[in-house]
Amino acid sequence: MSQDVQVPLDGRPTAEPADAEFPPPVRFSPEELSVLLGEKNVPTEEQSAIISSPLTPRLVIAGAGSGKTATMADRVVWLVANGWVRPEEVLGVTFTRKAAGELASRIRAKLVALQRVASRGTGAPLFPAGMISSDALEPKVSTYHSFASGVVSDYGLRLGVERDVVLLGGAQAWQLATEVVEAYDGEYGHFRAAKSTLVKAVVQLAGECAEHLQEPEEVEAWLMARLADYEALPYLAEKQKNPPQAAADIARMLRTRASVADMVGRYTDAKRARGALDFGDLVSLAARVARDVPLAAHMERQRYKVVLLDEFQDTSYAQLVLFSRLFGGGHAVTAVGDPNQSIYGFRGASAGQLFHFVREFPVRAGPAEGPAQWEPAPTSYLTTAWRNGKSILAAANVMSESLAKAEAQRGPAGGGATAAASVPPLQPSPFAVEGRVVLGRFASDAEEAAALADDVLKYRVTDFETNADGSSVAPALAVLCRRRAQMETIRRQFEARGIAYEIVGLGGLLDTPEVVDLVATLRVLADPGRSDALMRLLAGARWRIGPADLMALRDWSSHLARRRGQLSTSPEGDEPGDDDGTVPESDLTDGASLVEALDWLPREGWTSSAGRSLTEVARGRLQRLSVELRQLRGYLGDDLTTLLGEVERAMLLDIEVAAVPGVSIHQARRNLDAFQDAAAGFLRTSHRVDILAFLSWLEAAAAEENGLEAPPGDVNREAVQLLTVHASKGLEWDAVFVPGLNAGAFPTDKDSRWSSGTAALPWPLRGDRSDLPQWDLDQPDQKGWIDAEKDFKAAVQVHGESEERRLAYVAYTRAKHVLWVSSAAWVGSRSGRSTMSPFLAELETLAVPAAGSLARASVHPLSLDEEALPENSPLTLETEVAGWPYDPLEGPIDPRSGERLRLSGGRRAPMEAAAARVLAELEKGPANLLAQQDPAKNPGLAGPAAGWAREAALLLQRRSRRSQGQDVHLPTHISASTLVDLEEDPAAVLARLRRPVPREPGMSARKGTAFHAWVEDYFGSAGMLDLGEAPGSDDHIDAAYDLDAMVATFRSSEWADRAPAYVEVPVETRVGDVVVRGRIDAVFRDADGRWDLVDWKTGRRPSGARLKTRAVQLAVYRLAWARLMDVPVESVRAAFFYVGDNEVVRPHDLGTAAELEGIVAAAVANQ
């Protein structure tokens, strides 16, 4: 990375016009403007200075929860109110769709308020001329990757990139990389990695090459040059000595990585041959455009007079090049970030890069005339924390103070840039509550999880906040884990206590029992070699095949492998002789497959040479499983979601989860439904159905703590959320639990140096290499390389601990009222005792009262002192023996004593008795059920009990009249389209809820997706894309869906010339007993202040009753928008625009709130 100040090509500042009257005089200070707009909170001094800063580059260091989004929105409004810029001349860029939507919504709302005040005729000239009645209140707010996509689209042709290039989604990129690895014909004798590992390495290295503007060929050449240098050296320069294995390992590492770079080059060629780009190519090409196409910088600077770069600490080197080349040299760029929250190093971000901003975006110094002189941009700070309680803030500052000390020892970043050591600590706001920090140290992770779950129950009924009417707000709780493996222990404790929970992210989802079984079945169906997956099913609770029968099945699989080998080696025409069934007592050979053995079970009475044979019970179960799998294989040619649905039903997983007591069917199905969503997401970005590619994709998700992360979600107050710390960035909860603070786990001791593994780009080739430790390769011999690599490893560990500390800082600052942190001495079945993480040990000082003040932290009542912790793992204190397999309804039993090991009693007898009673009562019919509730016939029913019993009987009687007698509940949240379906055919909706069948997006749905994406881009809001979401992933279907014709129709319509106030707005509102969610395609503001909602339709216009039914969607949107904006529903209009017919349809009899509630009530009554 260059350490020199970046200057414009013509040597003159680009942001400051030559007109001496620009900018106009300031008419309103930020404080005056805040009062004029009627806002509750006036900006602080720090905020005010940033809001009213000159139109020059500026770095803003904004701590967690310090109000950076509000400050950025206020700056835009202040600039517009004072006539310095128009709204459309502002560009705001951030990382996630959620953050972009929040920033855009705040800016729009403030501009609308400003417009309203300006139109009152008070004489205050708030808006520039012609703006008062304008609806052009839309600044450009986008994500980094979406902005890059626009740059490539607008200027890429000058670098040979066609506008119609196909953008590969994540699944497509994975599939293409798999094809490249499978077809690789280069040297591979040095490979030690599995195919899936190489596929992951190709995808990762390709992405890193793009992020750091390196060509794969250059990387391969650099690695081969280093290999040649290394092999030319003796092991020891001073004396002859045979090199150890470590010396050979370095050579193999360099050679393997060079081969991976070669694969990346072939992967790039394969994309080029298909006319495609992947996600990383987009940013790389945009940076090259900014660097090599002067017109791009000129046009973008003319278009955007003010640029706001949010979360700048998470940008990559390529993104730094992109924006510095477009908007460097004095342009009004404000970068906002927090070095203490730079946690995405694995995605190419660098904590030190934030401080390079002041050099890459300099300000002009000295007189305006004459040669330009440049100096680093100034730095401002936001240090007031508006989110955290005082005690929680004290814990966060403990983490940040240690980071500051580490940075001070390293010295200023970037050769003179402002050092992170100068970042001041956060201060509590004047309204901050005291908050609570709880510290815990437990004997085992099981005891830790139990204590956590007990406290979750307590905080679930704690009133942290109240609504304006005094009613309580349901608390939001989250458990943040460093590793997904921690979630299962905690999840089991939640299950035992009936705590509703939500696992956020695909990785944690793959560890849940029902999903594990589902994936195991998919593996067995797709790959006959996955005996391990079949073992999961055979030994599970459903089939319960015992050890002796498993050994017999193993013998049979080896027997089949031997017969197959004999057939392949027999001379032509010869038949192999009968095999006596003898097999050696050894592990299965590579050719043996339990899946094959299951398909071809031995004849009755077969016995192996070891004397093992299948029992009659096992044979029956294996035959049923074989038939089931054979039937399921018939669905392998269908779409993925259909296959998943059939597997789920065949395994009875839908019934299994529906039987979970204490939760609704929708809560019980949450993991299966989330997995279905993940599969549908894979399918949307895949050209073809490939179950093996999907399973390979899942393997990467399971193996990577941070890879294939689901898009960030929202806070859920209806359940406790379990997620990784990385996924928690940008969210906040009332109470946050951070378990597993053990040394080696958090901070992790995982090796991240580029010289280990096969995937990472060598750090000397990275754009941010000046901020990273380096391996000194200038050595006289190979021994010097080995010793230097050890020093490099130690330096990387120190560097990695700083990133882990920033991760802890992020975790701690998510909490508003309660921060619960803990450690466990013994984790799982590990043989060694875990020591406490420094991130927890350093907080112990908060538990000691300072002079004249109370302690900032308390110790959990069940926490143990180090002396009281057990010397041995609780799991090894007593040997536990149980018969296997065991009846899942009875639990394990100790064969030595016959005692049941489950704490609660067995359930089979009571469940069988209950089932028999239900069946008997159902046979009697509802009349007998009703008669039993007559107090005269049943003296035990007296007083209130009699009334309750009769009501219960009437409900049972009504239920018995329902078709099939199935219990169905509407979920707490439904989509607007589901409400439409309830109006049209409630029985079908209820049937679908009873047996959910996943549906692949059909032709019409994908056609609508393509058109909606184009409209978003047309109105300038395309690509509020999350990390990992590829823009334009449906570009390959445009021609098939005749997108050009729809675009032409839209351009000729009335909507093309109107500027929407909002695009793709998510809304939700309560209708009766449910909350209805939807997304309004476009919201326009009429000149009279009325709102106009439009829903784009790519299908044909319905008529008659069907059009009236479809209008329910508009009625919901109108009601939701009126409630959201706090305006009468009469001031909101709504319409469909049928693009295919070029017709606007405005139903005049949209349903009222009462009529919509009637639809829900009718559905509930007829359940």
Q: 1099 in a domain, yes or no? A: yes
Average pLDDT over residues 665-693: 74
Q: 958 in a domain, yes or no? A: no
**Whether the predicted pLDDT of 1097 surpasses 80:** yes
Q: 901 in a domain, yes or no? A: no
* Structure-model confidence comparison of residues 182 and 1164, the more confident one: 182
The H-assigned helical ranges of 1000-1042 are 1003-1018
For residue 670, the model assigns a pLDDT of 76
Instruction: Give whole-number Cα distances, 976 to 861, 963, 1091, 1105, 1116, in Å.
Output: 48, 26, 19, 18, 7
Confidence of residue 992 (pLDDT cuts 50, 70, 90): low
The verdict on 722 and 739 lying in the same domain is: yes
| Token pair for 1001 | 């997006």
Indicate the residue among 849, 868, 887 that finishes a domain: 868
Q: 1149 in a domain, yes or no? A: yes
Helices H, strands E: what count in the chain?
38, 25
For residue 387, the model assigns a pLDDT of 93
| Block residue for tokens 């707010």 | 141
| Token pair for 997 | 């069948």
The verdict on 698 and 721 lying in the same domain is: no
Q: 674 in a domain, yes or no? A: yes
Average pLDDT over residues 1117-1127: 88
Q: Residue 482: which CATH number?
A: 3.40.50.300
Per-range mean pLDDT, top range of 558-567, 568-577, 1099-1108: 1099-1108
* Structure-model confidence comparison of residues 1003 and 188, the more confident one: 188
Provide the 3-class DSSP secondary structure of residue 659.
Answer: coil
Confidence of residue 445 (pLDDT cuts 50, 70, 90): very high
Strands (E), 1021-1138: 1062-1071, 1074-1085, 1091-1097, 1132-1138
Average pLDDT over residues 540-554: 90
Annotated binding site for ATP: 62-69
Q: 288 in a domain, yes or no? A: yes
The verdict on 529 and 617 lying in the same domain is: yes
Residue 721 near residue 715 (C-beta atoms within 8 A): yes
For residue 72, the model assigns a pLDDT of 95
The verdict on 226 and 349 lying in the same domain is: no
Indicate the residue among 244, 274, 304 that finishes a domain: 274
Average pLDDT over residues 202-209: 92
For residue 1030, the model assigns a pLDDT of 36
The verdict on 209 and 347 lying in the same domain is: no
The verdict on 92 and 187 lying in the same domain is: no
Instruction: Give the CA-trace dihedral at 791, 795, 797, 802, to 10 degrees.
Output: 170
Per-range mean pLDDT, top range of 269-283, 300-314, 345-359: 300-314
The verdict on 559 and 608 lying in the same domain is: yes
Residue 67 near residue 30 (C-beta atoms within 8 A): no
Confidence of residue 1022 (pLDDT cuts 50, 70, 90): very low
For residue 566, the model assigns a pLDDT of 62
Annotated binding site: 62-69
Question: Into how many domains does the chain fold?
Answer: 5
Average pLDDT over residues 944-951: 55
* Structure-model confidence comparison of residues 404 and 1083, the more confident one: 1083
The verdict on 677 and 628 lying in the same domain is: yes
Q: 875 in a domain, yes or no? A: no
Average pLDDT over residues 298-304: 94
- Cα separation, 195 vs 1080, whole angstroms: 44
Containing domain of residue 302, as a range? 1-8+53-165+280-382
The verdict on 515 and 601 lying in the same domain is: yes
For residue 267, the model assigns a pLDDT of 95
Q: What is the pLDDT of residues 75-110, one digit of tens each?
A: 999 999 888 998 889 999 998 877 888 888 888 888
Query: Helices 279-292 and 144-155 sit at what angle, rounded to 10 degrees?
Result: 60
For residue 781, the model assigns a pLDDT of 92
Confidence of residue 581 (pLDDT cuts 50, 70, 90): very low
**Whether the predicted pLDDT of 532 surpasses 50:** yes
Q: 228 in a domain, yes or no? A: yes
The verdict on 59 and 142 lying in the same domain is: yes
- Cα separation, 339 vs 423, whole angstroms: 9
Instruction: Give whole-number Cα distances, 534 to 50, 521, 795, 1109, in Å.
Output: 62, 7, 44, 48
Q: Residue 989: which CATH number?
A: 3.90.320
**Whether the predicted pLDDT of 967 surpasses 60:** no
- Computed over every residue of the chain, the mean pLDDT equals 81
The verdict on 209 and 331 lying in the same domain is: no
**Whether the predicted pLDDT of 164 surpasses 90:** no
The verdict on 128 and 218 lying in the same domain is: no
Instruction: Give whole-number Cα distances, 415 to 3, 175, 896, 1088, in Å.
Output: 7, 43, 72, 57
**Whether the predicted pLDDT of 639 surpasses 80:** no
Indicate the residue among 360, 382, 404 that finishes a domain: 382
| Token pair for 281 | 């190519």
Confidence of residue 1020 (pLDDT cuts 50, 70, 90): low
- Cα separation, 994 vs 658, whole angstroms: 10
